């Protein structure tokens, strides 16, 4: 099969021809139909995540069709279309797993990081960590759902019933979650890179009541802010935009250092927290909700062997919505 492989951090992905993977008794072999390109993939390629399996096939927003299955697989049939997310394995036994917090499992393994992912013609996944995908989405449109949608949803839930919601970094997750937030009756304030007028216009089209530069204070105090941009200096910026009791949710896996800030911008029962990974329950909830909104995805498609170009465009902030690799 054709695949794009990362051999070492801070190098380009290489196009290779390798045998399709073998699968175990609880696994499905998937013919990849589409695979989203996530900011986490950029952190992996740039060497910002510790101890990846190397070489690795990146990609954890996989839309695939079941092309083979192990003897114990009962959830899916040959030909079913399934989604594969970032969470690829949990132990089921540690304190986190038994308390419904499998996203924090001591022994968790992640797709496209510890387990080969979807930048390839075929991939293998454990049946227990695959999801059926809503039928109203075509293959490319469904690809951002398993991570941008799912982690976005988990971060939105962390904001509780916040009415005025700031979203910093208007990329793949934000463009989906803004629609969900509007559907829930919240008011979205979108913050983009300085001067990204097109991005601000895109946010308004998706229902944002206000859009501006991340360095600008919004016209109203926010009840919560979600940071999708991996930029630590936005933490104090977002805190300054919050009403008392508000929360800043950092949704990325990696962020540049957070500069020190005066205590008074945290005072007033404001809080800062991170969101890590996802649980399978998040997946079930979000994938049931997304078609009801309906949350539309805006995708820019690339053939799989142009994965490096897709990553470069994402790094440069040139993707409107989500980048998706397709298999021809
Ligand atoms: Zn565990
Ligand atoms: Zn991701």
Residue 217 Cα to ligand 2 midpoint, Å, equals: 28
Query: Are the beta carbons of 119 and 57 closer than 8 angstroms?
Result: yes
Kindly tell me if the per-residue pLDDT of 132 is higher than 80. yes
Judge whether residue 328 has pLDDT over 90.
Answer: no
**91 alpha carbon – ligand 1 mean position (Å):** 4
Mean pLDDT in residue range 245-265: 97
Rounded to the nearest whole angstrom, what is the distance from the C-alpha of residue 42 to the centroid of ligand 2?
Answer: 10
Q: What is the pLDDT of residues 34-43, one digit of tens each?
A: 999 999 999 9
Percent share of the chain, pLDDT over 90: 99
pLDDT over threshold 90, residue 177? yes
Place of tokens 């097109």: 198
The model carries a pTM of 0.96
- The contacts of residue 232 (CB under 8 Å, 6+ apart) are 255, 256, 257, 258, 259
Average pLDDT for 74-99:
98
194 C-alpha to center of ligand 2: Å? 24
Ligand nearest to the CA of 96: 1
Per the DSSP assignment, residues forming a β-bridge with 16 are 3
**Whether residue 123 has pLDDT greater than 90:** yes
Work out the pLDDT band at 154, boundaries 50, 70, 90.
very high
Question: What is the mean pLDDT of the segment spanning 233-241?
Answer: 98
Cα separations in angstroms, 257 against 100, 167, 218, 234, 247? 30, 19, 24, 10, 19
Taking the centre of ligand 1 as the mean of its atom positions, its distance from the CA of residue 66, in whole angstroms, is 27
């Amino acid at each position: 099969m054709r695949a794009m492989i990362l051999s070492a951090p801070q190098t380009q992905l290489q196009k290779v021809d390798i045998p399709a993977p073998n699968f175990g008794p609880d696994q499905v072999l998937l013919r990849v139909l589409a695979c989203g390109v996530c900011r986490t993939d950029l952190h992996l390629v740039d060497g910002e995540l510790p101890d990846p399996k190397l070489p690795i096939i990146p990609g954890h927003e996989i839309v695939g069709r079941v092309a083979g299955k192990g003897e114990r697989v009962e959830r899916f049939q040959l030909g079913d279309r399934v989604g594969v997310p970032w969470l690829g394995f949990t132990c089921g036994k540690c304190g986190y797993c038994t308390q419904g917090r499998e996203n924090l499992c001591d022994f968790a393994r992640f797709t496209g990081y510890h387990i080969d992912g979807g930048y390839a013609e075929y991939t293998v996944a454990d049946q227990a960590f695959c999801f059926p995908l809503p039928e109203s989405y075509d293959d490319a449109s469904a690809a951002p759902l398993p991570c941008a949608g799912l982690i976005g949803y988990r971060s939105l839930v962390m904001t509780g019933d916040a009415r005025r919601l700031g979203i910093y970094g208007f990329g793949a997750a934000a463009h989906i979650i803004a629609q969900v937030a509007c559907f829930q009756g919240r008011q979205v304030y979108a913050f983009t890179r300085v001067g990204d007028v097109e991005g601000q216009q895109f946010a308004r089209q998706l229902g944002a009541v206000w859009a501006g530069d991340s360095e600008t204070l919004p016209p109203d105090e926010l009840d919560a802010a979600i940071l999708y941009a991996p930029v630590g200096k936005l933490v104090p910026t977002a805190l300054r935009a919050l009403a008392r009791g508000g929360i800043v949710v950092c949704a990325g896996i990696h962020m540049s250092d957070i500069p020190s800030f005066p205590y008074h911008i945290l005072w007033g029962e404001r809080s800062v927290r991170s969101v890590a990974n996802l649980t399978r329950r998040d997946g079930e909830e979000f994938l049931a909700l997304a078609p009801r909104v309906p949350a539309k995805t805006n995708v820019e498609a690339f053939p799989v062997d142009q994965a490096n170009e897709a990553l470069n465009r994402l790094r440069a902030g040139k993707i409107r919505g989500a980048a998706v690799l397709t298999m021809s």
